[in-house]
Structure formats: structure tokens, C-alpha cells
Amino acid sequence: MEYYQFRLQKLLDIRADKEEESKRNFKEAQSERLKVEEKLNNLKENYTKYREMSGEESVIERKIKHVYLNAINYNIAETSKELKIKERVLEEKREDLKLKQIDRKTVESLKEKQKAEFIKEQELIEQKMNDEFALYAFIRQQNSL
């Protein structure tokens, strides 16, 4: 019995490699977005932590706190912009990954269909051979009687 060899195996391998690369890119973009999101949350926590002014602080301490809060506010705004950019990049990577998976699965399903046809064909050939052997055996048995 012959073994099945898919003619487009190299194409399938290439598409699988591209899908793996796309997965790595997606995970990297996801990681970057998480880092920025963490940074934003830390900035927001610092802002809420230091925004309360108590009556015990001196004017200089209040001024320093005010400048610090303005800096945090600015950083929150910048980090929010950066987060939106990272989310957009992440969505692009997600779409790219979906397309790569579809490309690979298309060729893979073609391979499975062709393999099923090949197996069916091989089984038919084997069945014909078995039928011929049975017929020859029957004829020999009839001739020997």
C-alpha cells in the first residue's frame, strides 16, 4: 500500500510558520498593552493617593504636591493615549492572526480531503485485488473438482 504525500505540504508548512510568527507578534503586542495599562493604573493610584490636601501642610508642601499632581495628570493623559495606540495595534495583530489561521486551515482542510480520497481509492484498489484473488481461488477450486 502506498503512503499519502500531500503535494502542497511546503505551502502548509509556510502558512503554519507564518501563523506561529503572527501568534508571537500578537502575544508581544498583548504584553505591551498590559504593561501600559499597568502603568496607567499605577499613575491613577498615585493620583488618588496624593490628591487629598490636609490642613497641616505648609504652603510649600501644598505647592510641591500640586506640581506633582499636575505631572501625574499629564502622565495619565499621555499614558491613556499610548494605551489607545497599543489597543489599536493589538486589534491589528489579532486580525492578522485570524487571517493567518484561516489561510492555514484552508490548506489543511484541502489536505484532509485529499487524504480521505486517497485512502478511499487505496481501499477500493485493495478490495478489487481481494475480489480477484477470491475469484481465482474459486475458479481453481472448480477446475480441481
- Condensed to tens digits (0 to 9), the pLDDT of residues 58-73 reads 889 889 999 999 999 9
Residue 133 contacts by C-beta under 8 Å, 6 or more apart in sequence? none
d(CA 93, CA 24): 10
3-state secondary structure of 145: coil
pLDDT value of position 19: 97
Q: Are 78 and 39 in contact (CB under 8 A)?
A: no
Domain residue extents for the chain: 9-109
pTM of the complete model? 0.76
pLDDT value of position 1: 55
d(CA 112, CA 102): 15
Q: Which three cell numbers stand for residue 46?
A: 498615585
SS3 per residue for 38-80: HHHHHHHHHHHHHCCCCCCCCHHHHHHHHHHHHHHHHHHHHHH
d(CA 66, CA 73): 10
Other CB atoms within 10 A of residue 22 CB? 21
pLDDT value of position 57: 82
52 confidence band (pLDDT: 50, 70, 90): confident
